[in-house]
């Protein structure tokens, strides 16, 4: 069985990942990591689910990685980079679902992939991965006369905006249109903005309540519009996708992969 370590195990995604690992006969929980000040430190990782897993929640990353096959991480960029360094040192593969990385931080991930296998994606959902491909196809067909806008909504606790998924969708559209997202993205509109530049890609962000994650890519033309939408109703979809990515890495050589590799969509 594949020996999995879960990072950030007391968070919302951590709970979803633990539950999915316990439900998968092909996986075994090998380690559970949380921040040093977490009240969960020292408790059995299965306690929340009425299980005795034999794995105590710890903040000792190096110890948790001993004998592990893969670490799954949905935390924040700063701890993610610490896990990245520890996995590189230990030769343990890594699945990264964390968002909000800077360009320099993404380069660190790419550098580490020369030594270990990494699946790095802003959204581990199978449906969102398919959406990325659909957006690319639509953008090629609707390249002339259609404005591209991306609308995303998440729960009130999300700390980065736009979401990593929204940015990835923007990159997919920009690539198909022959544009550079860094120069054509518009992240906010207020006041007298003038007419819309047809070469831009706009982003709108909504934060509130317990929205798990909604994303819509809008292609607005004259007399019609095409909307491609994905709505997540449970974090289980991200957890299941991440664990599918963990299985994908088994036996794979070092390299940087994304969910399209995992699903065979490239």
158: annotated active-site residue: yes
CATH of the domain at 58: 3.40.50.720
Q: What is the model's pLDDT at position 101?
A: 93
Encode the chain (266 residues) as per-residue pLDDT tens digits. Answer: 999 999 999 899 999 999 999 999 999 999 999 999 999 999 999 998 998 999 999 999 999 999 999 999 999 999 999 999 999 999 999 999 998 899 999 999 999 999 999 999 988 999 999 999 999 999 999 999 999 999 999 999 999 999 999 999 999 999 999 999 999 999 989 999 999 999 999 999 999 999 999 999 999 999 999 999 999 999 999 999 999 999 999 999 999 999 999 999 87
DSSP string, 120-185: E-S---HHHHHHHHHHHHHHHHT-SS-EEEEEEEE-TT--SSS-HHHHHHHHHHHHHHT--HHHHE
Q: How distant, in Å, are the alpha carbons of 5, 85, 235 from that of 50? A: 19, 33, 20
The single residue of 154, 155, 157, 247 carrying the catalytic annotation is 154
- Do 206 and 255 belong to one domain? no
Residues 24 and 109 in one domain: yes
pLDDT of residue 265: 84
Q: What is the pLDDT of residue 214?
A: 97
b/e per residue 123-142 (b: at least 16 CB within 10 A): bbbbebbbbbeebbebbeeb
Q: What is the pLDDT of residue 147?
A: 98
Is 154 tagged catalytic? yes
Q: How many domains does the chain have?
A: 2
Q: Are 88 and 148 in the same domain?
A: no
In a shared domain, residues 154 and 210: yes
Phi, psi of 115 (to 5 degrees): -110, -30
Q: Compute the mean pLDDT over every residue in the chain, rounded to the nearest whole number.
A: 96
Residues 87 and 176 in one domain: no
pLDDT one-digit tens code per residue, 176-193: 999 999 999 999 899 999
Residues 105 and 130 in one domain: no
Asked whether residue 105 falls in the same domain as residue 82, the answer is yes
Measured distance CA(216)–CA(212) in Å, rounded: 14
Tell me what pLDDT residue 219 has. 98
Q: Are residues 111 and 67 in the same domain?
A: yes
Here the tokens at position 110 are 């790419």
Q: In 3D, which of 244, 247, 170, 240 has the Cα closest to residue 205? A: 170
Please report the beta strands in the chain, taking only residues with DSSP state E, as ranges in sequence order. 2-7, 27-33, 57-58, 70-73, 93-96, 117-120, 147-154, 185-186, 201-207, 213-220, 225-232, 255-257
How many other CB atoms are found less than 10 A from the CB of residue 80?
Answer: 25
Domain of 222, CATH number, reads: 3.30.360.10
- Indicate whether 157 and 195 sit together in one domain: yes
Question: What was the pLDDT predicted at 100?
Answer: 87
Q: What is the DSSP letter of 248?
A: H
- Selecting among 158, 231, 253, 266, the annotated active-site residue is 158
Domain that holds residue 84: 2-120+235-263
Say what the pLDDT of residue 230 is: 97
């Amino acid at each position: 069985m594949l020996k999995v370590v879960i990072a950030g195990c007391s968070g919302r995604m951590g709970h979803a990942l633990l539950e999915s690992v316990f439900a998968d006969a092909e996986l075994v929980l090998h380690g559970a990591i949380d921040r040093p000040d977490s009240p969960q430190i020292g408790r059995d990782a299965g306690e929340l689910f009425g299980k005795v897993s034999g794995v105590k929640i710890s903040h000792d990353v190096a110890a948790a990685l001993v004998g592990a096959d893969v670490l799954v991480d949905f935390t924040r960029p700063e701890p993610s980079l610490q896990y990245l360094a520890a996995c590189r040192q230990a030769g343990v593969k890594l699945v990264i679902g964390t968002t909000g990385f800077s360009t320099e931080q993404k380069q660190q991930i790419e550098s580490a992939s020369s030594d270990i296998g990494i699946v790095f994606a802003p959204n581990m959902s199978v449906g969102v991965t398919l959406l990325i491909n659909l957006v690319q196809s639509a953008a090629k067909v609707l390249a002339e006369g259609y404005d591209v806008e991306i609308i995303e909504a998440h729960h009130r606790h999300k700390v980065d905006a736009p979401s990593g998924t929204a940015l990835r969708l923007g990159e997919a559209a920009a690539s198909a249109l022959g544009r550079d997202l860094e120069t054509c993205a518009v992240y906010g509109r207020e006041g007298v903005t003038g007419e819309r530049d047809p070469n831009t890609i706009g982003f709108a962000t909504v934060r509130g309540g317990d929205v798990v994650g909604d994303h819509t890519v809008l292609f607005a033309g004259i007399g019609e519009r095409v909307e491609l939408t994905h709505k997540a109703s449970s974090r289980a979809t991200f957890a299941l996708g991440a664990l599918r990515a963990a299985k994908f890495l088994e036996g794979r050589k070092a390299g940087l992969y994304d969910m399209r590799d995992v699903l065979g969509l490239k």
